[in-house]
């Protein structure tokens, strides 16, 4: 356990999570959510759960992002609220 | 509807990368009992390689290479492999998914039968997950309207 690494990663996770729900452009929100998934993947690896990290990287960052992009392309890119 | 990209760099890089991604996915599936990975992650990576082929080469090319019937068939085949191995163990007198009972069929000792049984299960899971990922992405990206329906 490297406490400095933990704090940096957790800081980035919180920043990505807050940015993903406040940004107005939905495509940017999807991209930030992908970055959030990668930081969570680093966090899982740091905690020793390599299998969970693998699933997070492939499903959360890979397939989840591309499904959200397909959904954004079929609907609208701007939020109304 | 996703049409084919005009950029030759994107198409060439995708065409070179797709076999390596699929090779890595097969490694993740086959090496799943010794290292991180397994049927689910390998199946997702296999599906992601087909999705990469779709978003670079377009819908028509993808349909020519991987027809819709093949995707449905692979998904059903994965489920059949999983439940078939489980039910075979049940018929041989053990519990559901008790792979050591397979030693009678495979002519190996129970420890080897367990290793082979979990490999079969992971292959089944990988096929089903790959078909599900492809099918969901096709349906979202086309909106459920196929080019055959529009004519």
Give the pLDDT of residue B149: 66
Which chain A residues in 37-56 lie under 8 Å from chain B, judged by CB atoms?
Answer: 50-51, 53-55
Residue A35 to residue A57: CA distance in whole angstroms: 10
Instruction: Provide the residue ranges of all domains of chain A, joining segments of one domain with +.
Output: 3-74
pLDDT digits (tens, 9 = 90+) for B72-94: 999 999 999 999 999 999 998 88
Bridge partners of residue A25, in order along the sequence: A78
User: Three-class SS of residue A77?
Assistant: coil
What are the structure tokens assigned to B30, written together? 């086959």
Query: Which residues in chain B have Cβ-Cβ distances shorter than 8 Å to A58?
Result: 41, 44-45, 48
Q: State mean pLDDT over A26-44.
A: 93
Q: Is B151's pLDDT higher than 60? A: no
Q: Is A32's pLDDT higher than 60? A: yes
User: Three-class SS of residue A78?
Assistant: strand
Report CB contact under 8 Å: A74, B143: yes
Residue (of A7, A74, A10) closest to A39 by Cα position: A10
pLDDT digits (tens, 9 = 90+) for B40-82: 999 999 999 999 998 898 888 888 888 888 899 999 999 999 9
* Cα B5–Cα B7–Cα B9 angle in degrees, nearest 5: 120
Q: Is B12's pLDDT higher than 60? A: yes
Residue (of A72, A58, A62) closest to A29 by Cα position: A72
Q: Is A79's pLDDT higher than 60? A: yes
Residue (of A33, A38, A36) closest to A69 by Cα position: A33
Work out the mean pLDDT of chain B and round it to a whole number. 88
Report CB contact under 8 Å: A62, B36: no
Query: Which residues in chain A have Cβ-Cβ distances shorter than 8 Å to B143?
Result: 74
Nearest neighbour of A63 by CB, restricted to B36, B48, B143 = B48
Q: Is B150's pLDDT higher than 80? A: no
Report ipTM (2 d.p.): 0.83
Residue B61 to residue B18: CA distance in whole angstroms: 14
Q: Is B147's pLDDT higher than 70? A: no
Report CB contact under 8 Å: A58, B140: no
Nearest neighbour of B140 by CB, restricted to A53, A59, A71 = A71
The DSSP secondary structure of B115-143, one letter per residue, reads HHHHHHHHHHHHHHHHHHHHHHHHHHHHT
Give the pLDDT of residue A35: 94
Burial of A36 from C-beta contacts in 10 A (0-12 / 13-18 / 19+) = buried
Instruction: Provide the residue ranges of all domains of chain B, joining segments of one domain with +.
Output: 8-143
């Amino acid at each position: 356990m490297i406490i400095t690494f933990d704090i940096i990663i957790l800081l980035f996770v919180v920043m990505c999570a807050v940015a993903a729900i406040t940004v107005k452009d939905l495509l940017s929100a999807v991209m930030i959510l992908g970055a959030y998934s990668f930081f969570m993947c680093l966090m899982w690896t740091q905690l020793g759960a390599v299998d969970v990290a693998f699933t997070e990287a492939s499903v959360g960052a890979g397939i989840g992002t591309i499904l959200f992009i397909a959904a954004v392309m079929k609907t609208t890119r701007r939020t109304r609220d | 509807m996703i049409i084919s990209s005009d950029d030759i760099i994107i198409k060439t890089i995708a065409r070179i990368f797709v076999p390596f991604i699929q090779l890595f996915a097969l490694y993740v599936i086959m090496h799943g009992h010794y290292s991180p990975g397994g049927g689910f992650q390998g199946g997702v990576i296999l599906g992601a390689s087909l999705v990469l082929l779709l978003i670079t080469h377009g819908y028509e090319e993808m349909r020519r290479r991987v027809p819709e019937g093949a995707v449905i068939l692979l998904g059903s085949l994965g489920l059949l492999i999983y439940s078939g191995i489980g039910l075979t163990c049940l018929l041989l007198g053990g519990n559901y998914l008790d792979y050591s009972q397979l030693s009678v069929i495979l002519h190996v000792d129970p420890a080897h039968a367990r290793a082979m049984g979990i490999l079969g299960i992971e292959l089944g899971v990988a096929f089903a997950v790959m078909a599900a990922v492809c099918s969901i992405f096709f349906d979202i990206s086309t909106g459920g309207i196929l080019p055959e329906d529009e004519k």
